[in-house]
Structure 1
Amino acid sequence: MLFVLEDQNSIASQFMSELRDITIQSDRMRFRTNLQRIGNIMAYEISKKLSYGDKTIETPLAKMSISALKEQPVLITILRAGIPYFNGFQQFFDRADCGFIGAYRKEDSEQLKIKLDYVATPSLEGRDVILIDPMLATGFSVTEALKAMKDRGYPRHLYIACVVAANEGLDYLKKNIKIPYSVWCVSVDEKLNQQLYIVPGLGDAGDLSFGEKI
């Protein structure tokens, strides 16, 4: 399943335009804030698909039955670009177990490779897992993360939450992910360029959030 937020009119389109606009995105605090805001919105949308059950609570005036989450999802983000987006999810799922994966692009003369240098997650067995990464370009980061987490158990459902996706990455996931999953994004962009960055995209989300790396 593919959910594209821009298929519906919402304030997310305004936040998205500010993330992309080179005259606005240079303000790092605003860039991070807009990623966090979109994280809030996407967390709300994904929450509609989670499992709920009846729960009795007591107000100052009476007892009542309400609908509540049966279990908080596991939130996992890919460092460092995913941190502001992840913060938006964590504000909504504020009791969720969380995991972190360090991943970076390694380019050689033949092909792009994704290297992982840090993996820290709780058990994923039978749980709803939200994998949070702003840019879904090739899809390599997602599949490498899944390989690294395979000894943590198999999720009930994997929600891949990005901001911008490319069709090449979506096709790659379709061919290579064997567990139940869905992709949630704000926009599906036109293509990848020769360097495998999303076009028109928004640039390097990590650098725009935290400064250039060396």
Structure 2
Amino acid sequence: MAELGRLLMYEASMDCLPTVTGEIQSPMAAASVEFIDPRKPVAIFPILRAGLALAEHASSILPATRTFHLGVSRNEETLLPTVYLNKLPDKFPEGSRVFVVDPMLATGGTIVAALNLLKERGIQNKQMKVISALAAPPSPSKVER
């Protein structure tokens, strides 16, 4: 799961992170390169506990990230997600990008609750990505709505 998470993180980050160009000195010559802009905050947000396995190697792809945790369980009477641990900041820095990591989306209720918590803290849809290894058919459309 950790290796799969690393690969999914790489793919998810390719088109959404701001970059800057620079130059590095290689053994042969100077080379023009493109870097992820270190001035723009990136956060990894695994949903406990299962999300930890997928997020384990995130720092090997995105070394300048902060990790925040959210614990969610399902209320057995209402079948709705209930937050039991919330380590999100009250507000994210301007321009933050957030990767929400949950390996399996069954009904989509947990991930939608997590995305709503991010929106309450100023994160817009275009600033967040969901990283998941498996999704049951109702989940993607529920997340999209």
In 2: Cα distance, 1:166 partner to 1:103 partner: 18
Is 1:145 aligned to residue 111 of structure 2? no
For structure 1, the residue ranges without an aligned partner over 5 or more in a row are: 1-34, 176-214
Q: Which has the larger radius of gyration?
A: 1
Is 1:101 aligned to residue 70 of structure 2? yes
Q: Which residue does the alignment assign to 2:134?
A: 164
Amino acid at match of 2:13: S
- TM-score (normalised: structure 2): 0.83
Is 1:130 aligned to residue 99 of structure 2? yes
Q: Which residue does the alignment assign to 1:42?
A: 8
Amino acid at match of 2:22: K
Amino acid at match of 1:98: T
Q: Is the 8 A contact 1:76 1:98 kept in 2?
A: yes
Alignment of structure 1 residues 62-81 onto 2, 5 Å: 62-70=29-37, 71=40, 73-81=42-50
In 1: Cα distance, 2:139 partner to 2:68 partner: 23
Amino acid at match of 2:68: G
1:58 to 25, 47, 63: 25
SS in 1 for 2:65: coil
User: What is the CA-CA distance between 1:61 and the residue it aligns to?
Assistant: 6.2
- TM-score (normalised: structure 1): 0.58
Q: Which residue does the alignment assign to 1:19?
A: none
Q: CA, structure 1 residues 67+41, in 2 after alignment: closer, same or farther (shift >3 Å)?
A: same
For structure 2, the residue ranges without an aligned partner over 5 or more in a row are: none
Q: CA, structure 1 residues 46+164, in 2 after alignment: closer, same or farther (shift >3 Å)?
A: same
Q: CA, structure 1 residues 72+125, in 2 after alignment: closer, same or farther (shift >3 Å)?
A: closer
Q: Report the count of equivalent residues.
A: 139
In 1: Cα distance, 2:136 partner to 2:49 partner: 20
User: What is the CA-CA distance between 1:60 and the residue it aligns to?
Assistant: 5.7
Q: Is the 8 A contact 1:137 1:165 kept in 2?
A: yes
